[in-house]
Amino acid sequence: MKPKEDPKDLFDREEELQKLKNGINYPVSLLLGLRRSGKSSLVKVLMKEEDAIWIYLDLRKYETKTFITYKDVIIELEKALNRFPQRIKKLLEGIKGINVAGLEIKLNWGKQKVEISEIFDKLSEISEKEDKKVIIVFDESQELRKLKGYNLLNPLAYAYDNLKIRFLFTGSEIGMVYRFLKIKDPNSPLFGRAMTEITIHPFTKEKAIEFLKKGFEEVKINLDEKLLEDVYNNIGGIPGWLTYYGFNYIQEKDHEEALNKTIELAVSLIKKEFRNFLKGREEAKERYYTIMGVCKKGCRWSESKRAIEAKEGVRIDDKKLTELLQNLIDASFLIKENEIYRPADILIEKAF
């Protein structure tokens, strides 16, 4: 389930790709969608097609951490800058806290630490000198909400207002991306700034079946449409899981076996992601599990309240319950349709 990098391997994402291409003409773009919906593939294809100076920071490794530090961000930035050609690296010389020695860039995060705003200044100069866009990608940017001891929004707002740099934030926990950027908070440095927003949705039933057919045609396999419908009915329209089913079917040559293997892995990963979500929220752990259990087929606010109170034998504060539900929505485990809370995906339902 590695991200695709070749445009011909993208399926039915031409509209989103075009929106993304338009978006990088402006300071900030958001690319949002559930996990394994194809965000990273879109970014990789964009990086291949657009001649720009790309800085790609992969923040997925911080999913298991309760907080991250300035040092963590600087180390990721250092890795990204070291992918530059040597000629571009040389242009970063002269910034306090940056050492360009031989083939390697070193960023200082200690007492003589490098200032991110100064890096942004220099990158903007490089953009003008090279006559190319500089685009910084924060992949799974919701992890930046865990950053302690440093406000990244200040240099981002400075760059937005003054520099020729573009930023692309991707996120699977959609509400958590908004929490990090605080674009609706009057006290936030980014308050009121316009941003291009692209949302990737799972495939519809029709598109999921077409996606599977196309994939199987490439390996000369013809699968009955009823089986393909059964795949969609059991695992939904997220491209990553459909691809994994296809891989399993090619290995097993058996529909049930391939389907079971796909569901087993999906449930295992979703449970792991839920445990990551609970880090730092241990006090409410049982309440979150109770909510997911009662809402797995859809529930109302009042039903989740009754379920928690029945389990604990005490009243739960209404405001607190609403906060718990909103956290699950922001982390993309639940969605709210009218007055009904339900899992964001059929496989999340199966995990609970």
Q: What is the average pLDDT across 226-244?
A: 97
Residue 219: strand, helix, or coil: coil
As a whole-number percent, the residues of the chain with pLDDT over 90 amount to 89
Locate 166 and state its tokens. Answer: 């573009």
- As a whole number of angstroms, the distance between CA 155 and CA 73 comes to 13
Average pLDDT score, the chain = 94
Sorted by sequence, the CB contacts under 8 Å of residue 56 that are 6+ apart come out as: 43, 47, 80, 83, 137, 139
Q: What is the structure's pLDDT at 3?
A: 60
Strand partners, 29: 168, 196
Residue type, 53: I
Question: What pTM does this model have?
Answer: 0.93
- pLDDT bracket for residue 103 (50, 70, 90): confident
* pLDDT, tens digit (0-9, with 9 covering 90-100), for 178-198: 999 998 899 999 998 999 999
* Upper half-sphere CA count for residue 12 (Cβ side, 13 Å): 18
Q: What is the average pLDDT across 254-268?
A: 97
- Distance from the Cα of residue 37 to its chain's centroid: 9
61, 276 in Cβ contact below 8 A?
no
Q: What is the structure's pLDDT at 111?
A: 83
Q: What is the structure's pLDDT at 4?
A: 60
Q: What is the average pLDDT across 101-125?
A: 91
200, 13 in Cβ contact below 8 A?
yes
* pLDDT, tens digit (0-9, with 9 covering 90-100), for 22-50: 999 999 999 999 999 999 999 999 999 99
